[in-house]
Amino acid sequence: MDRGNAFAANCPTRQLLDRVADKWSVLVLLILGDGDMRFGGLKRRVEGVSQKMLSQTLRSLERDGLVTREVTPTMPVMVTYGITPLGRELLSALRSMIDWAETSMVKVVAAQRSYDARP
């Protein structure tokens, strides 16, 4: 058995799912899927993320082998992030998810309104 089962509580897949099914991770991976980017650039693209969360997210993703981190020892330092082949495998699923979210948003907001308005 070299395949996980996300429904099992003790399976590492559960932790992985929790990591990957995360707002900031999804957004960061999607951006890096379009090309490498530096810390500041990511911070600007992912509106509203704090540098703490961004740095935390990037470190997690790097640790999981989904993101690369390259330091160019200029002055000041330049750090470039990229996506690994493993991370790239996940990309199409994430894109579908975001695509669904962006197109369904209106319907969901309507559903919420009707839910909140009922007796």
Partner DNA sequence: CAGCATCCATGACGATACTG
Partner DNA sequence: CAGTATCGTCATGGATGCTG
Residues that bind DNA (CB under 7 A): 38-41, 48-53, 55, 58-59, 69, 76-81
The residues in 4-33 that bind its own copies, with binding defined as CB under 8 A, are: 4-14, 16-18, 20-23, 26-27, 31
CA distance 91 to 97: 10
Asked if 65 and 48 touch (Cβ cutoff 8 Å), the reply is: no
Instruction: Choose, by CB under 8 A, the member of 33, 55, 64, 68 that binds its own copies.
Output: 64
Asked if 84 and 68 touch (Cβ cutoff 8 Å), the reply is: yes
Q: For residue 16, list its beta bridge partners.
A: none
Give contact residues for its own copies (rule: CB under 8 A): 2-14, 16-18, 20-23, 26-27, 31, 45-48, 62-66, 86, 89-90, 92-94, 96-112, 115-116
